[in-house]
Amino acid sequence: MLTAEEIVRVRTSFDMVFANANDTMTAFYDRIFELAPEIRPMFPADLSVLKQDFISKLAMLVGSLDPTTGLLGGADILGRNHQKYGAKAEHYPMVGEALLWSLARGLGPHWTDELEQAWRKVYGVVAQRMVDVGNAPPAPSAGPSQRM
Ligand code: HEM
| pLDDT, position 51 | 98
Superfamily of domain 4-135: Globins (1.10.490.10)
- Cβ 37 vs Cβ 106: under 8 Å: no
Which residue ranges in the chain fall short of pLDDT 70? 67-73, 138-148
Helix, strand, coil share (%) of the chain residues, nearest 5:
75, 0, 25
| pLDDT, position 68 | 61
Q: How far is the CA of 144 from the centre of ligand 1 (A)?
A: 15
| pLDDT, position 147 | 63
Q: What is the pLDDT of residues 11-42, one digit of tens each?
A: 999 999 999 999 999 999 999 999 999 999 99
The torsion region of residue 108 among left (phi > 0), alpha (psi -120 to 50) and beta comes to left
| pLDDT, position 136 | 81
Q: What is the pLDDT of residues 104-113, one digit of tens each?
A: 999 999 999 9
Burial class (CB in 10 A: 0-12, 13-18, 19+), 99: buried
Q: How far is the CA of 117 from the centre of ligand 1 (A)?
A: 22
Q: Where are the alpha helices (DSSP H) in 108-142?
A: 113-135
Atom of ligand 1 nearest to the CA of 43: 35
Domain ranges in the chain are 4-135
- Cβ 111 vs Cβ 37: under 8 Å: no
Query: Residue 27 and residue 9: Cα distance in Å, rounded?
Result: 22
Q: Which residues does a 6 A CB cutoff place in the pocket of ligand 1?
A: 39, 42-44, 50, 53-54, 57, 78, 81-82, 85, 87, 91-92, 95, 123, 126-127, 130, 147
Angle of helix 75-85 versus helix 113-135 axis, rounded to 10: 70
